[in-house]
Amino acid sequence: MSEPATVYEVGPRDRGKRLDRFLHEKIPGVSRSYIQRAIRSRITLSWGIEARPATPVRAGGRVLVGWTPVEEVLLELRIAVLARGEGWLAVDKPAGIPVHPASRVRENSLIRMLRRQEGRERLRLVHRLDRETSGVLLVAETPEAARVLSLAFERGAVRKEYLAVVRGAVREPLGVIDLPIADARGSRVYVRRETARDGQRARTRFRVERALSDRTLLRLFPETGRRHQIRVHLAAIGHPILGDILYGRADRDYLDLVRGERDARGEEGGPLRHLLHCERLEFADLAGATREIRAPVPPDFGEALADPRGEAP
């Protein structure tokens, strides 16, 4: 039998506290170092992100402490390696695979699959892609590479290009979305974000690659790296990504999917994932040489753009 979980509610005064500090305050007599060691295996967050010692807690959320038994059948899926260098490799992340263990997906997370495939337990993520996002993902093989490459992402020294199929015909051939982003207020979905005056600075450039009568293929150049930035920005200008269950839709659609009750996208006959793909990364490797990595465009993009009504006027 599994151990029952203990639940700690996150109050307004706890907003933004580190998870290890929050639990240290809630569980007297247990050292903070012990809590930090236990967080990865015993802690689940109600807002659906991976628990880490430094993860900030969210007001209104719940922190569950206890063993979470998970039964998984290992996927027979080989992750395509796009390039290798000193201390790093770049892979083509498939859509639908979370990059790190989360909720009920652990051994079938990309990083654990890649460790088994490559026979390297020290592989570490240096950035993230959302579960449904596909494309170029950079992974470090050594602590030094992890430090250098993670810092490059934090400082905005990595050039990123994404492709997205969005709802509606985007009329302007070029554009800039410069809107701050914060956690959504008043939403029942903890992971949702929104544009807000008091949010973090976020800036995304875009270029129209192809415009159809009711959808558009965009190339996007995020200049900052906020969580869900591209998805939030496109929804904010009235062109949410096709297949996005979280943005441009009611809370209910996302909550029903999480509960396993229904996927509204299937009922509509649209794609069953948001059509966002990291097509290109450009960065300096550990020797200072510029590296450019590209990932092939997935077939579902072509399917979504096969519109018999033709190009937009």
Q: Specify the CATH number for the domain of residue 246.
A: 3.30.2350.10
- pLDDT for 227 equals 93
CATH number for the domain harbouring residue 50:
3.10.290.10
Rounded CA gap, 83 and 89, in Å? Answer: 6
Q: Given CA atoms 186, 266, 134, 52 in this order, what sign does their dihedral have?
A: positive
Q: 170 in a domain, yes or no?
A: yes
Q: Return the residue matching tokens 């690659």.
A: 209
Q: What's the angle, vertex CA 195, arms to CA 279 and CA 163, rounded to 5?
A: 15
Q: 93 in a domain, yes or no?
A: no
Rounded CA gap, 115 and 27, in Å? Answer: 34
- pLDDT for 3 equals 46
Domain boundary among 33, 50, 65: 65
Rounded CA gap, 104 and 8, in Å? Answer: 20
Active site residue 92: no
Computed on alpha carbons and rounded to an integer, the radius of gyration of the chain in Å comes to 20
208/107: higher pLDDT? 208
pTM above 0.85?
no
Structure tokens at 243: 């297949």
Q: Nearest 5°: phi and psi at 202?
A: -150, 135
Q: How confident is the model at residue 90 (pLDDT cuts 50, 70, 90)?
A: very high
Q: Cβ distance 241 to 233 under 8 Å?
A: no
Structure tokens at 280: 């290109």
Provide mean pLDDT across the span 171-184.
96
Rounded CA gap, 222 and 278, in Å? Answer: 11
211-256: pLDDT as tens digits: 999 999 999 999 999 999 999 999 999 999 999 999 999 999 999 9
Rounded CA gap, 104 and 75, in Å? Answer: 14
Q: 92 in a domain, yes or no?
A: no
Q: 245 in a domain, yes or no?
A: yes
Q: Which of 14, 20, 130, 244 is catalytic?
A: 130
Q: 75 in a domain, yes or no?
A: no
Domain count for the chain: 2
- pLDDT for 216 equals 98
Residue 158: is its pLDDT beyond 90?
A: yes
Q: What is the mean pLDDT of the chain?
A: 91
Q: 34 in a domain, yes or no?
A: yes
Per the structure, the complete domain to which residue 241 belongs is given by 162-276
Rounded CA gap, 53 and 39, in Å? Answer: 7
Q: 313 in a domain, yes or no?
A: no
Q: Cβ distance 244 to 200 under 8 Å?
A: no
Q: 129 in a domain, yes or no?
A: no
Domain boundary among 65, 80, 110: 65
Q: How confident is the model at residue 2 (pLDDT cuts 50, 70, 90)?
A: very low
Rounded CA gap, 14 and 8, in Å? Answer: 11
Residue 68: is its pLDDT beyond 60?
A: no
Domain boundary among 41, 65, 89: 65
